[in-house]
Amino acid sequence: MSLIRSGTSTAWRMAGGMRQSVHRARVEGEKRVMERRHRAALVALGARAYALAKEGRIPADALADEIAEVDDRQADMAATRPAQDQAHPQHDATAAFPMLADDAPG
């Protein structure tokens, strides 16, 4: 009888531990989803603030450093693009990534 009781006790303990693990994983997953949504909202806010500042609809003085950084990164990308295109003239991004077909230039 004690063997059955010992097995049952162990099974209940394991089940309780599993429940706690699942609960912790669910809480952590929900936390990560909220953090991801928060980051996405900040990205959207930044993009909107950048666009409004470039249009002159909001004062750009407070965002001058960040705007300069974005402009520098865009200039870097524009400068390296011809070199990348020459290095891979046969490269067709839409063949490898069909979801980019809508974004393809021309």
Residue boundaries of the structural domains of the chain: 2-83
Question: Could you tell me which residues come within 8 angstroms of residue 53 by beta carbon, excluding any fewer than 6 positions away?
Answer: 59, 60, 63, 67
How confident is the model over 38-49, as a mean pLDDT?
95
- Please tell me whether residue 105 adopts helix, strand or coil conformation: coil
CB 54 within 8 A of CB 67: yes
Answer with the residue of higher pLDDT: 104 or 65.
Answer: 65
Q: Pick the residue with more confidence: 71 or 104?
A: 71
Q: What is the pTM of this model?
A: 0.55
- DSSP 8-state assignment for residue 3: H
What are the pLDDT digits (tens) for 56-67?
A: 999 989 899 999
Q: What's the confidence (pLDDT) of residue 25?
A: 93
Q: What does the pLDDT read at residue 10?
A: 86
CA atoms of 61 and 49, how far apart (whole Å): 12
Residue with tokens 């520098």, as numbered in its chain = 72
